[in-house]
Amino acid sequence: MRYGLDHKERTRGRVLGAAARSILAVGPHRIGVADVMAKAGLTHGGFYAHFSGKDELIVAAIELLFDEALANLHRLTRDRAPADALGAYVDWYLSPSHRDARETGCPLAALSADVPRLDVAARRRFSRGVRRLTSGIAALLSALGQKESESLANSAFAEMVGALVLARGADARESDSILEGSRTCLKARLGIERLRRRPRSRQRNS
């Protein structure tokens, strides 16, 4: 039976989705082609119709993970004033639900420790994904009139990733405290709560 190109693309998408979830759960070095194909509901032999090998799969899965992360950033910030948008993203990123969503969360926190051991193509794809996310935050910071918005976005993301990693390794009470403290401190540093409290007319005229 012959299948159209759309069938091949859908099948590739299933494989990538399964690989992405596995990478977040156990890390890129621990995934196996046979296991990924099984999770996608496909036979091992069909893998090479879509990818030349595991390294290519990892590169494509990393790109998918960052596509999803960027879509989530847009979903959380769309149609909001810049201060509200940043606050919503910080609240989500440093939330117990994100901490517990290891197989669907941000790839920065899940993969940062593994990236130095990946091949060049995967490291480049990761770096590009990080730039896309930080650029989204930098645009919001720039809209708030923050100077050096790119550097501030990088610093804010580093703080969020570090807090999330620490929270995932701590016991329940300490973990919640880490998240709450980081949310409060980061929003204060970015001026988010102060700007949220200002009347909208003053925000527009400032």
Q: Does residue 37 lie within any of the structural domains?
A: no
Report how far residue 93's alpha carbon sits from residue 182's, in angstroms, rounded to the nearest whole number: 10
Domain count, the chain: 1
Which pLDDT band, with edges at 50, 70 and 90, does 195 fall under?
low
pLDDT of residue 192: 86
In a domain, 48, yes or no: no
Q: Is residue 111 part of a domain?
A: yes
- pLDDT tens column, 57-96: 999 999 999 999 999 999 999 999 999 999 999 999 999 9
Residue 134 belongs to a domain with what CATH number?
Answer: 1.10.357.10
pTM given for the model:
0.87
Q: What pLDDT shows up at residue 143? A: 94
Q: Of residues 3 and 20, which shows the higher confidence score?
A: 20
Name the percent of the chain in helix, strand, coil, to the closest 5.
80, 0, 20
C-alpha closest to that of 47 among 22, 71, 23, 18: 18
90-122 confidence digits (pLDDT tens): 999 999 999 999 888 999 999 999 999 999 999
Q: Rounded mean pLDDT of the chain?
A: 90
Most confident of 99-103, 152-156, 199-203: 152-156
Residues of the domain holding 167: 55-205
> Which whole-number Å values give the CA distances from 42 to 34, 37, 57, in the listed order?
9, 5, 15
Residue among 64, 21, 11, 85 at smallest CA distance from 41 = 11
Question: Could you tell me if residue 14 is inside a domain?
Answer: no
Instruction: Please report whether residue 15 resides in a domain.
Output: no
Tell me the C-alpha distance between 70 and 77, whole Å. Answer: 11
Q: DSSP letter for 148, please.
A: S
